[in-house]
Amino acid sequence: MFEQISGHLLVAFYVAILIAVAFYGLHRYILVYLYVKHRNDGYQPKAKFAQLPHITVQLPMFNEDVVAERIIKATCQIDYPLDKLEIQVLDDSTDHSADIARLACEQWQAKGFPIHYIHRTNREGYKAGALEAGLKQAKGEFIAIFDADFVPPRDILHNVVGYFADDQIGMVQVRWDHLNRDASLLTKSQAIFLDGHFVVEHTARNRSGRFMHFNGTAGVWRRSTIEDAGGWQHDTLTEDLDLSYRAQMKGWQFVYLPQFCAPAELPPEMIGFKQQAHRWTKGSFQTAIKLLPGILRSKHLSRRIKLEAFFHLTNTVVYPLMVLLTLLMYPTFFNIFSPFKSHSWGQYVFSGSLFVLATCSASTFFIVGQRELFGKEAGWKTLIYMPVLMGLGVGISLNNAKAVFEAIWSSIRRKPSEFVRTPKYGAMGSGRNKWRKDSVFTFKRLALPIVEIAFGCYMTCCMWISLWYLCGLWSGQPKSGWASLPFLMIFAGGYFYVGFGSLWALYQMNRDHAEVIAEAPEILST
């Protein structure tokens, strides 16, 4: 009797988690609907400046030896009157990158460009702190921001500045493009993920009157908007998301321009991808904890804005839910309810739950994004990548679930989190770092990949049980368990892909570390 009650409670818990995940999957379909409904409702500048305003371009960087010269050169080549332009290189570097960036600034200064090198002796506030420090010295009425791995196009400021003739516009964001989209399966998958965000999500939110956010780079701010919203704050790892919501709660309007883009490189190896995903996930949930209660209590925000803000800021909870669903698969469906019996209801619930999860992966979301960018044929070709996209989404769940719990813990302790930069590789973003002081095997680095591989083994066992019992191989009588196999394969493949990909990246990092030490052993003393 006790076992039966506990079994029902376990299944109820599983179904409750599944329903929560399904709601977030449904939300993506709502975003697709809003995108289709509003995709032709583009913005047009309401007026023109009699004289072009003064713009300060900020280039925050930290130990960016590979890409520092590239971003400085690209920024100096932007087509904008030099007497109306100011360029700030906000460098917090603690290695030889500082010398590279300083020398590049001096060379462009000698050519008559209004570029200034600002170097801080500490990383207080990390990127937000650097931006705030630069803002105190900036002369511009508008502030453009580009991260070090971006290559801003020459016409970027002319394309954007006209929208600020409307005094209500506080920020204009352009779409990200990708320099190394086709470098590997990992970069291709990331590009599809981000294209869905920039094509569908941003457009749907912005043009339907909901809150969107600045992506930390490739955008221009009205300086008074930053100041009115309380300035750059560093109590979250996503200072861009935090400031965006605070500004829009003050009544400032944002404009998103997907027709213009700024290209950047994607992390070409698994460790860099996981570091970036971890920072975005942790910072997003920190922002939810910080701002969401005030948003929901607000009396002047509409219900649709509040509802979208809730889904937007809390969508990262899907990752710990995915981990729980993975852990509960065996005890819930293979053990307690023994769905080895033909046509048992537990068997149907199991297969059905995996189908719902696959549906919640919102393949439509990515297909629409690729179709809008590259045409109908490219959209349907995205179906080929769907197993990889689904697997990568599952495989990264442990990494991102850890980020969610860290966000909760840091918010309880009220202690700022360290900003871990995403490694840059330069060129087309397909090379390897020359030197990283932390490029050695440690238990801390190895622990998560080992757990991810263990999850892959666990899902492989579930797949074998399903194949042997549910599909009737042990009895020679076919049953109805085949539907669950593709999803179990995606779960297992996703955890293996992320886990082994991480170990391979760590191996390469360690090899590079050893090569540098062999060539220049004195570097250990620096």
Let me know the angle formed at the C-alpha of 73 by 69 and 76, rounded to the nearest 5 degrees: 140
Residue of 91, 92, 149, 177 marked catalytic:
92
| Alpha carbon separation from 3 to 30, 207, 524 (Å, rounded) | 40, 53, 60
Judge contact between 256 and 159, C-beta under 8 A. no
Domains and CATH numbers, the chain: 2-32+321-418+436-519 (no CATH), 52-316 (3.90.550.10)
Angle at 479 between CA 478 and CA 485, to 5 degrees: 105
Q: How confident is the model at residue 346 (pLDDT cuts 50, 70, 90)?
A: low
Predicted TM-score of the model (pTM) = 0.90
| Predicted confidence (pLDDT) per residue in 402-415, tens digit | 999 999 998 888 77
pLDDT at 430: 46
User: Residue 33 CB: number of other CB atoms within 10 A?
Assistant: 12
Q: Is 195 a catalytic residue?
A: no
Percent of the chain having pLDDT more than 90?
63
pLDDT of 434 above 70: no
* 79 part of the active site: no
Which pLDDT does position 2 carry in this prediction?
A: 58
Q: How many Å apart are CA 224 and CA 143, to the nearest integer?
A: 10
- Return d(Cα 382, Cα 187) in angstroms, integer: 14
414 vs 455: which has the higher pLDDT: 455
Q: Check whether 304 has a pLDDT greater than 90.
A: yes
Dist CA 510 CA 503 (whole Å): 10
C-alpha–C-alpha distance, residues 353 and 347, integer Å: 10
φ and ψ of 388, to 5 deg: -70, -45
Confidence of residue 345 (pLDDT cuts 50, 70, 90): low
Cα gap 64→131, rounded to integer Å: 16
pLDDT tens track for 1-49: 656 666 678 878 887 888 888 888 888 889 999 999 999 998 888 888 9
pLDDT for residue 119 is more than 60: yes
Alpha helices by DSSP H, listed for 315-375, are 318-329, 345-360, 363-374
Residue 121: the pLDDT is 87
Compute the distance between CA of residue 159 and CA of residue 144 in angstroms, rounded to an integer.
12
pLDDT digits (tens, 9 = 90+) for 220-249: 999 999 999 999 999 999 999 999 999 999
Q: Which two tokens stand for residue 422?
A: 């995403």
Distance, CA of 498 to CA of 398 (rounded, Å): 10
Q: Which of 65, 91, 240, 242 is labelled catalytic? A: 240
Is the predicted pLDDT of residue 354 greater than 60, yes or no?
no
Above 80 in pLDDT, residue 115?
Answer: yes
- Where in 23-84 does DSSP place strands (E)? 55-61
Q: Which of 35-44, 290-299, 316-325, 337-346 has the lowest mean pLDDT?
A: 337-346
- pLDDT confidence of 435, banded at 50, 70, 90? very low
Distance, CA of 9 to CA of 13 (rounded, Å): 6
When pLDDT is cut at 50, 70 and 90, the band that residue 333 belongs to is: low
CB 225 within 8 A of CB 402: no
- Residue 390, pLDDT > 50, answer yes
> Is residue 431 very low, low, confident or very high in pLDDT (cuts 50, 70, 90)?
very low
Measured distance CA(268)–CA(512) in Å, rounded: 16
